[in-house]
Amino acid sequence: MAMLVCLCAGFCLSESSKLAAASPPRLLNDPVDISGDFHNFANLYYLADHLADFDPATGQGDIACQRSAYFTRLAFNNMLAVLKPVAATEFPANEYAANPKLPFSIDFVSARTLRIRVQTGPQFAPPQPELMLNGPVPKDNGDWKYSKVDGGYRYTGPYGSVTILDNPWCIEIRDARGRLLTRTVTQADLSETFTPILPFSFVRRASDYSRSVDAAFTLSPGEKIFGAGESFTGLDKRGQKIVLWANDANGIQNQRMYKPIPFFMSSRGYGMFMHTSTPITCDFGHDFSGVNSLMIGDDALDLFVFLGTPKEILNQYTDLTGKSPMPPLWSFGLWMSRCTYNSETQVVDIANELRQYKIPCDVLHLDTGWFETDWRCDYQFSPTRFPTPQKMIDDLKQKGFHISLWQLPYFVPKNTLFPEIIQKGLFVRDAKDNSPREDAVLDFSNPATVQWYQDHLAPLLKMGVGAIKVDFGEAAPLTGLYADGRTGFYEHNLYPLRYNKAVADITKEITGQHLIWARSAWAGSQRYPIHWGGDAESTDDGMAAELRGGLSFGLSGFSFWSHDVGGFVSRPSTDLYARWLAFGVLSSHTRCHGTAPKEPWNYGQAFMDEFRRIDDLKYELMPYVYAQAKDCSEHGLPMVRALFIEYPNDPGSWLVDDEYLFGSSMLAAPLLHENATGRDVYLPPGTWIDYQTGKSYEGGWHHIEAGQLPVVMLVRDGTVIPKIALAQSTMQMDWSKLELVVFAKNAPTAKGLVCLPADNELHELSLTRNGNTFKLENDPLAGKVTWKITRAENVE
């Protein structure tokens, strides 16, 4: 039977021995790819056929389905699988519908957002507390107007229209000009190709009678797809099959994800959010180039569709699921770490050396070695290696350092907390009421577990610990039984969100700040910043993959993101470390971390000097960084930003995956190759000024040499960049004196943003040219700041 499933999934018959040899055994926590269930000869398929009834006033109706099954067809020594209608096989036959009617509805959330829901059967489960959404779903205030059309029903809003057609049942989504953006795939589409494709449908599995939805939509020629989480594969997901299942990817050059997000956007002007926590397989034109199959494990579809530009789509999506709040100022400074510091003396010595060598730094992270036994998380500082932790934290804070602490939600049997977790029933259980793992995995669906967990974190935060590292979280047992009554099929992907929330809530309660340091995520986790990119390989390819992952993550609703500078796995060369550091300081958050020591003095005097120059850049740019972060927080935008977010009408900007905008006005092109001193750079339309040399370029392709810093970095013509005097920590910065550096070649005005940490209010800066100088039109801070206005040097 297993071989039959494998054969059917491939749509062709081959030598079974070869197929068996090519199929590796399933391993613990392997991603759950449900796509095979939609190509299984044993299952039944219910294809959306026609509209049985519909009430346009309520947007509710029923879809009549056609029961179908796969059969083989032989043609010229080639075997294909084809779908054909089949009769009912249940007994007694009169008790069950052969071709059921599916309740569906369409609701309008805002002028740019609509919601499509379809049920494949009765829904008896009590409602669960909503985690992914940021509150009740709002109702549109009347922007959408109904009209009857031939063969269906149409709702028209200011930014597009939705048409529901009777026969075959179809939903068409168009923009305000009437251009078709996408529509559901219908049975009529089957006649247009010899390739077997599955229209909008649901599957009923023969193995357990469970149901899952295939929400199939059309893709257009040239259409591109972006998002789906921190995916390290090609930035454009068109032609890929993406499995949305939280996984310890063990690196960043594979298809697995620490942070899958059930949201994507299209270059045609729409985005979709699959509101579920079940496994999802998104076939973005992988099996058939013109079909986007959203194979959703859930037995009901809840799909939000957004209309607009990338900026508008991200704003609408994060209005629904939440925007990233502002982390504290100090979090934007340098984080120094390794796996791991293991004594109080070592931590204090490193802090002193950072100050001695004038390496600006705000955070020292203690990884797995602050317990008595390395990796054995008991929330207690080792009494033998950290004898006076309170004094250490207090002394470091006076020097401008905050402490971050590692921990995880899995408890080995030798952990002193293990018996208590078992005795109190705080762990995920199996069908026998045992633990499905040797470890006890905390069950965050249990309020008692959350309280117990937060009670152990609270004393650390009260000591003055600045941040908790929320490591792992991707291995919640699939077969586990959770306190909320559900299995891992529904809880596995929610686990990162629950985990993120538990730490963020207690941190906010005690410190008043929005800050965690997390590896795993799901939709809604952006409300609990910050997340970092996992265990990157210390290679050029690792660095390039990390950038793709960060861009993809930003296109999934996350404003703030970091990565292990130099890679995690091994000791980087000085060349790679310097190039990666330049990428790191031009990210929202900057952490040097890995299995090898990352303190710059371990790499020689010349490298330490280069490290200092790169690090200084972040600290001098802190007013720009902080203001851009605030703007991102308010609008759901990423700090590490794909070019097309700012330039949606420029075709070239949709093709670039190895450079980015840092905020709205700076373009960064990391040096991704060994010993590179420059690179080919694509510039969006307009004039761009090299931050380091002052040379100007027009939009298009250019080969640009980096300056003293190993990165190509440009600023939009007509931009003012706020800067601050260099300090060794953000605590020592004087925000009453800021320099406004104007980058302008021919622009008559220069604009920018500023936000003082003291009041956290975003203000626009506007300067006008007066000969060769620029003047601030109005002081948005009303005398709180002494401004020094300068022009970027050597602009030509």
Q: Which residues participate in catalysis according to the annotation?
A: 471, 474, 535
297 Cβ neighbours under 8 A, 6+ residues apart: 32, 34, 212, 276, 278, 279, 280, 489
* C-alpha span between 640 and 637 (Å, rounded): 9
Q: Which residue shows structure tokens 């704003």?
A: 315
**629 within 8 A of 635, measured Cβ to Cβ:** no
DSSP notation for 575-640? HHHHHHHHHHHTSSSEEE-SSS---GGGG-HHHHHHHHHHHHHHHHTHHHHHHHHHHHHHHT--SE
Contacts of 620 (CB under 8 A, 6+ apart): 723, 724, 725, 726
- Per-residue DSSP letter, 130: P
Q: What letter represents residue 523's amino acid?
A: A
**Dihedral sign of CA atoms 321, 326, 328, 334 in order:** positive
d(CA 155, CA 6): 43
Q: Which one-letter amino acid corresponds to residue 328?
A: P
Q: Are 737 and 725 in contact (CB under 8 A)?
A: yes
CA distances from 174 to 141, 182, 183, 194, 319 (A): 20, 7, 9, 28, 22
The tokens for 546 are 């990390």
**Would you state the structure tokens that stand for residue 386, as one six-digit string?**
């950290």
Indicate the DSSP class of residue 150.
T
Residue with tokens 């060769």: 772
Amino acid found at 693? T
> Which residues, listed in sequence order, are joined to residue 795 by a DSSP beta bridge?
none
Read off the amino acid at residue 335.
Answer: W
277-294 residues labelled b (16+ CB within 10 A) or e (exposed) = bbbbbbbbbbbbebbbbb
Helix/strand/coil for 549: helix
Nearest 5 degrees, angle CA 566-CA 569-CA 570? 70
Question: How are beta strands 590-592 and 564-565 bridged, if at all?
Answer: parallel
Q: Do 577 and 607 form a contact (C-beta atoms < 8 A)? A: yes
Tell me the one-letter amino acid at 163: T
CA dist., res. 602 & res. 607, Å (int): 9
